[in-house]
Structure 1
Amino acid sequence: MSTTQTNKIETIKATATKINEVDFDNLSFGAVFTDHLLECDFINGEWQQPVIKPYAPLLLDPSAKVFHYGQAIFEGMKAYKDTNNDIWLFRPDENYKRFNSSAVRMAMPEVPEFVFIEGLKQLLKLDEAWVKNGNESTMYIRPFMIATGAGVVANPSEDYKFMILLSPAKAYYSGEVKVLIAEHFSRAANGGIGAAKAAGNYAGQFYPTSLANKEGFQQVIWTDDATHTKLEEAGTMNVFFRINDTLLTAPVSERILDGITRKSLIDMAEKEGINVEVRPVLVSELVEASQKGTLKEIFGAGTAAVVNPIAGYSYKEVYYELPKIENSFASLLKDKLTSLQNKLTEDTFGWTVKV
C-alpha cells in the first residue's frame, strides 16, 4: 500500500482493484462495495484525522456501545456520472445537515463538514472508475456513525466511528409493489426518534413488514401511533397520494423523516403546475377516494428507489387496486428528477454539486 497526504485527509490506496470482478449490468442493491472507504474516529472529545483506505472488515470490542444501546445513524446519498465523465452529487448539503440532526438526537457528536463533504468527494475521485454512466447507473453512498466506546453502562459512548461506503447500484425495487396499511404497528411515535435516520427505526420495521410479506404485500404504509388514522410513510420511504389531480403528502414531524427526495419532488411538482398539499392525510380519505374512483396514484419517494409506484393497498382486509394510468405524476416526476441528477437537463434549482 502507498500512503499519501491530501489536505487533512490521509489516503491509503489499495494494491489491487476488485472492479474487474463486478458485473455492473446485474447488481444487487447494496451488495457490492468499491475498493476504498472513508473512516474517521472521535476519541477523547475530538475528531481525529480522517483516512481513506482499502475496504476491509472492522475490529470492535464486544462491549462497544453500538451493540448494546443502539447508537447508530446513517444517510443515503447518490453520485452520478454525466456524459462528460464528470461526477455529481445531489443536494449533499441536505444530507450533511440531516446527518448531524440525527447525531444530536442520538446524543452523538456532530461530524465536521470537511470530513463529510470533502472526504466524500475525495473518496469518489479515488474510486471514480466505479461510477458508471447512464440513467440507470448510480453510485449509492452510505455515510454512517456508530458508538465504539467500550463498556455496558447505559450511557452515551465517549468514542465514535464515522465511515462512508460506496456501492454501485441499479434499481432498488423491481416488479409490482402492493402495500398493507398498518392498523396496529407504528414506525415511530411522538417524542421518539422517527425524524432521525437511526438504525433502530429500520430494525423495528422488519417484523411487521415480514408479516405483510407473508400476506403477499411488499411493504407497509405506516400510520400514526396514537390513532392509526393518519398515513405517514411507505416502507422506508416518504409517500405521496394523488387524488384527482392534487398531490398529497404528510408534513414532516417527530415521526416522519425529512426526506430529501420528498422535498425535491414537492418543488418539482409545483414547478410543473401540479397542485401539492402538504397536510395530514387520513386513511378514511384514501378509502373514500378509492371507492369514488378519485384515487389515481400512490408512490413512495426516497434516495434508493427515487420514485416507486404502488399498484394497490389493503386496509381492514379489503384490497383496493389502483388504476393504471398514462402520464402519471410518478413517472413524470421520476423522469424529471433523474434527468436533472444525471445532468441530462438543466438544473434550474441549483441542487447538483460537482465532485
Structure 2
Amino acid sequence: MNLSTNNEIDIVRASSTKINDIDFDNLVFGNIFTDHMLICDFKDGKWQKPTIKPYEPFLLDPSAKVFHYGQAIFEGMKAYKDNNDDVWLFRPDENFDRFNKSAKRMAMPEVPEEVFLGGLHEILKIEKDWVKKGKGNTLYIRPFMIATGTGVVAAPSSQYRFMIILSPAKAYYSGEVKVIIAEHYSRAANGGIGAAKAAGNYSAQFYPTKLANEQGFQQIIWTDDATHTKLEEAGTMNVFFRINDTLFTAPSSERILDGVTRKSIIALAEKEGIDIQVRSVLVWELVEAAKNGTLKEIFGAGTAAVINPIVGFSYKDEYFELPKLEDSVALKLKDKLTNIQYKLEEDTFGWTVKI
C-alpha cells in the first residue's frame, strides 16, 4: 500500500486493483465496489480527519447503536464520464444539503462540506477509471452515516461513522414495471421521517413490496397514511402522472422525499413548455383518467433509475394498462436529462460539476 496525504485527507492506496476482473457489460446493480472507500469518524464532539483506504470490512461493537436504534442515513448519487474522458457530478450540492437535513432529523451530526464534497472529489480522482464512457454507464455513489457509539440505552449515539463507497452501474430496473396502489400500508406519516433518506424508510417497504411481488407487481405506489387517497411515491422513487398533456407530481412534504431527479424533471418540463402541476393527485382521479382514456403515462424518477416508465397499475383488484406511446414525455425528459449528465447537450442550468 502507498500512504499519502493532501493535508485534508489521508490516502492509503490499494496495492492492486480488481478493475480488470470486472465485466462492465454485465453488472448487477450495487453488487460490485471499487478499490477504495472513504471513512471519517465523529467522536469527542468533532469530526476527525478523513481517510481514503482500500475497500474492506470493518469491525463494530455488538452494542453499536445503529444495530439497536436505527440511526442510519444515506444518499444516492452518480458520476458520469463524457467523450473527453472528463468525470462529472450532477447537482452534488443538492445531495449534500439533503444529507445534512436527514442527519438533523435523525439527531446525527451534520457532515462538513470539506468531508462530504471534498472527500467525494478526492476519491473520484483516485477511482476515475471505474467511470466508463457511454450513455448508460455510471459510477453509483453511496455516501452514508451510521451510529457507532456503544450501549443499549435508547438515546442518540455519541459516535458516528461517515463513509463513501462507489459501485459501477448500468440500469437499475429492467423489464416492464407494473405497480399496485397501496390501500393499507404506508411509506411514511406526518411528523415522521419520510422526508429523510433514512435506512428505516426502506426496510419498512420490504414486506408490502414482497406482497406486491407475489401478486405479479414490481412496485407499489404509496398513498398517504391518513386517508390512502393521495398518490405519493412509486417504490423508492418520486412519481409523475401525465393526464392528457399535463404532468402532475405530488409536492414534497414530511412524507415525501425531495428528490433531486424530481426537481430536475420539473425544471426541464417547464423549460420544454410542458404543462406541469405540483399538487396532490387523488386515487380516484387516476382511476377515472385510466377509464376515460386521458391517462397517458406514469413514471418513477430517482437517481438510480433516472426515469422508469410504468406500464400499468392495479387498484382494488382492477388492473389498468397504460397506452404504448410514440410521443412519450417520460422518455423525452429522460433523454434530455441524461444528455445533460453525460455532457451531450449544453447544461444551461449549471447542474453539472467537473471532477
| TM-score of the aligned structures, taking structure 1 as reference length | 1.00
C-alpha separation between the residues in 2 aligned to 1:42 and 1:271? 43
Percent of residue pairs bearing the same amino acid type: 74
1:74 paired with 2:74, answer: yes
Query: 1:349 is paired with a residue of what secondary structure?
Result: coil
The aligned counterpart of 2:227 is: 227
Within 1, Cα distance between the matches of 2:7 and 2:263?
34
Letter in 1 for 2:130: W
SS at the partner of 2:27?
coil
Partner secondary structure for residue 79 of structure 1: strand
1:339 to 2:339 alignment: yes
The yes-or-no answer on 1:280 pairing with 2:280 is yes
Q: Which amino acid aligns with 1:253?
A: S
2:320 counterpart letter in structure 1: Y
Where do residues 136-151 of structure 1 align in structure 2 (5 Å cutoff)? 136-151=136-151
Provide Cα deviations, 1:86-130, integer angstroms capped at 9, x if missing partner. Answer: 000000000000000000000000000000001001100001111
SS of structure 2 residue aligned to 1:189: coil
Partner of 2:133: 133
Report what 1:58 is aligned to.
58
Matched with 2:213 is: 213
- Counterpart residue identity of residue 26, structure 2: N
Mapped partners of 2:309, 2:335: distance in 1: 13
5+ residue gaps, structure 1: none
- Supply the distance in 2 between the matched residues of 1:171 and 1:178 (Cα, whole angstroms): 17
| Unaligned segments of structure 2, at least 5 residues | none
Q: How far, CA to CA, are the matches of 1:71 and 1:136 in structure 2?
A: 33
Task: Tell me the equivalent position of 2:49.
Answer: 49
User: Alpha-carbon deviation of 1:77?
Assistant: 0.2
Map 1:194-343; keep pairs closer than 5 Å.
Answer: 194-343=194-343
Match of 1:176 in 2: 176
Alpha-carbon separation, structure 2, partners of 1:25 and 1:327: 29
TM-score, normalised to structure 2, is: 1.00
- 1:157 is matched with which residue? 157
* Partner in structure 2 of residue 351 of structure 1: 351
- Supply the distance in 2 between the matched residues of 1:135 and 1:265 (Cα, whole angstroms): 18
Structure 1 stretches of 4+ moved >4 Å: none
Distance 1:199 1:352 in 2: 27
Counterpart of 2:121?
Answer: 121
Distance in 1, matches of 2:118 and 2:353, equals 12
Q: Distance in 2 between matches of 1:7 and 1:186?
A: 47
Q: What displacement does 1:274 show?
A: 0.2
What letter is aligned with 1:341?
Q
1:333 aligns to what SS in structure 2?
helix
CA distance in 1, matches of 2:270, 2:69: 42
Query: Structure 2: how far apart are the matches of 1:347 and 1:2?
Result: 38
**Superposition RMSD on alpha carbons, in Å?**
0.4
- Residue 292 (structure 1) shift: 0.7
Separation of aligned partners in 1, 2:95 and 2:208: 28
Give runs of aligned pairs for residues 7-46 of structure 1, distance below 5 A.
7-46=7-46
CA–CA distance in structure 2, aligned partners of residues 286 and 7 of structure 1? 56
Aligned to 2:336, the other structure's residue is in SS state: helix
Distance, in Å, in 1 between the alignment partners of 2:87 and 2:314 is 41
2:105 — aligned with what? 105
For 1:82 and 1:48, the matched residues in 2 are separated by 34
Offset at residue 7 of structure 1 (A): 2.7
The equivalent residue for 1:191 is: 191
Instruction: Report the alpha carbon displacement of residue 252 of structure 1 after superposing the two structures with TM.
Output: 0.2
Secondary structure of 2:340's counterpart equals: helix
In 1, Cα distance between equivalents of 2:277 and 2:313: 21
Q: Which amino acid aligns with 1:255?
A: R
Q: Structure 2 CA distance, aligned partners of 1:256 and 1:271?
A: 24
Give the partner amino acid of 1:64: A
| C-alpha distance in structure 1 between counterparts of 2:168 and 2:2, whole Å | 25
SS of 1:257's equivalent? coil
- CA distance in 1 between counterparts of 2:39 and 2:123 reads 10
Deviations 1:19-71 (A, max 9, x none): 01100000000000000000000001000000000000010000000000000
1:239 and 1:309 map into 2 onto residues whose CA distance is 10
TM-superposed deviation, 1:327: 1.7
SS of structure 1 residue aligned to 2:197? coil
3-state SS of paired residue (2:291): helix
Q: Deviations over 1:308-350 (max 9, x none)?
A: 0000000000000000001201100000000100001100000
